[in-house]
């Protein structure tokens, strides 16, 4: 079945450091890929998405490229801020009926 | 402002009681979803509905029930049959439940504690 694997956290880094969160997937067909962010005690917010191979999603300085050859959708940000501290979820959406398959989430902690 | 509301934010119940969690959306979305989140884990799908008066079980439907009588509303009942009901519950909606890569929008969640 479809699945998403993302790197375990917590990831701790200093302000202005470069952030990468790895995400790989297994899916039949041609899924859409998403990154969601969850701040403490809140729901999930869509960060970015890509719907086909080689698409790059970007938002708020975050980027991720849909790589079909490596079945990956790694999240990157060039210079993180303390306000980026959150849990980040990679997810895939199959074409069938809209079920989102989530990774386990990666907690990111940014220190001043 | 369009969005998804869930109420209440915190809910406490005694074991053996049924409890209903509210989810309302004013985004005019056809599809709605309920997820459960446990500490340190990803989200797991409980139920989903692609259209009014229709819904299907997700991966962990046992001990839960839903209804979809109105497009805007998708309440979730946690029954006494659910063995471990304490969790964070998230409601979501999307334009369509079918293909097309439509993203899901999430509500703020309800934290249910059963003692």
Q: So what's the pLDDT on residue A23?
A: 97
**What percent of chain B clears pLDDT 90, i.e. is strictly above it?**
81
Q: So what's the pLDDT on residue A80?
A: 97
**Would you state the structure tokens that stand for residue A1, as one six-digit string?**
């079945």
Question: Which segment of A58-67, A95-104, B14-23, B30-39 scores lowest on mean pLDDT?
Answer: A95-104
Tell me the average pLDDT across B82-107. Answer: 86
Burial of A67 (0-12, 13-18, 19+ CB in 10 A): middle
Please determine, for residue A97, whether its predicted confidence score (pLDDT) is greater than 70.
Answer: no
Q: How confident is the model at residue A1 (pLDDT cuts 50, 70, 90)?
A: confident
Identify which of B42, B56, B105 has the shortest CB distance to residue A103.
B42
Tell me the average pLDDT across A28-33. Answer: 86
Please determine, for residue B1, whether its predicted confidence score (pLDDT) is greater than 70.
Answer: no
Tell me the average pLDDT across A20-49. Answer: 93
Give the chain B residue whose CA is nearest to the CA of A51. Answer: B101
Identify which of A89, A97, A105 has the shortest CB distance to residue B98.
A97
Please determine, for residue A111, whether its predicted confidence score (pLDDT) is greater than 80.
Answer: yes
Tell me the average pLDDT across A13-42. Answer: 93
Compute the mean pLDDT over every residue in chain B, rounded to the nearest whole number.
Answer: 92
Q: How confident is the model at residue B101 (pLDDT cuts 50, 70, 90)?
A: low
Q: So what's the pLDDT on residue A30?
A: 82
CB contacts, 8 Å: B48 with chain A:
97-99
Compute the mean pLDDT over every residue in chain A, rounded to the nearest whole number.
Answer: 93
Q: pLDDT by residue (tens digit) across A73-85?
A: 999 999 999 999 9
Q: pLDDT by residue (tens digit) across B35-91?
A: 999 987 789 999 999 999 999 999 999 999 999 999 999 999 999 989 899 999 999
* More confident of the two residues B74 and A1: B74
d(CA B60, CA B47): 8
Which sign does the torsion angle of CA A28, A34, A35, A38 carry? negative
Q: So what's the pLDDT on residue B99?
A: 59
Tell me the average pLDDT across B12-19. Answer: 93
Q: Could you tell me the CA-to-CA distances from A110 to A4, A103, B39 in Å, in that order?
A: 24, 21, 20
Q: How far is CA A25 from the centre of its chain?
A: 11
Of A53, A66, A62, A60, which Cα lies nearest the Cα of A19?
Answer: A62
CB contacts, 8 Å: B27 with chain A:
none
Q: Using beta carbons and an 8 Å cutoff, which residues of A are at the interface with B?
A: 4, 32, 34, 36, 41-46, 49, 51, 89, 93, 95-100, 102-105
Please determine, for residue A98, whether its predicted confidence score (pLDDT) is greater than 70.
Answer: no
Contact B101 A102 (CB under 8 A): no
Q: What is the dihedral of CA A67, A45, A81, B1, to 10 degrees?
A: 130
Contact A36 B106 (CB under 8 A): yes
d(CA B90, CA A44): 8
Query: B64 with B79: CB under 8 angstroms?
Result: yes
In angstroms, the separation between the Cα of residue B47 and the nearest Cα of chain A is 10
């Amino acid at each position: 079945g479809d699945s998403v694997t993302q790197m375990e956290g917590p990831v701790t880094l200093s302000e202005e450091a470069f952030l990468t969160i790895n995400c790989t997937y297994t899916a039949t067909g041609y899924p859409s890929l998403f990154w969601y962010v969850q701040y403490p005690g809140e729901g999930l917010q869509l960060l970015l998405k890509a719907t086909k191979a080689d698409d790059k999603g970007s938002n708020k300085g975050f980027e991720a490229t849909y790589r079909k050859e490596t079945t990956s959708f790694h999240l990157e940000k060039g210079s993180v801020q303390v306000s980026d501290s959150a849990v980040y979820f990679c997810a895939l959406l199959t074409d069938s009926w809209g079920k989102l398959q989530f990774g386990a989430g990666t907690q990111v902690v940014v220190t001043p | 402002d369009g969005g998804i509301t869930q109420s209440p934010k915190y809910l406490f119940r005694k074991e053996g009681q049924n409890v209903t969690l509210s989810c309302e959306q004013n985004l005019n979305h056809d599809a709605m979803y309920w997820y459960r989140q446990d500490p340190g884990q990803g989200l797991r799908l409980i139920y989903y509905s692609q259209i009014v008066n229709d819904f299907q079980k997700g991966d962990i439907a046992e001990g839960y029930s839903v209804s979809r009588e109105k497009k805007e509303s998708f309440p979730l009942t946690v029954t006494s049959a659910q063995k471990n009901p304490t969790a964070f519950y998230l409601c979501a909606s999307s334009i369509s439940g079918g293909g097309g890569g439509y993203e899901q929008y999430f509500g703020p969640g309800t934290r249910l504690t059963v003692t």
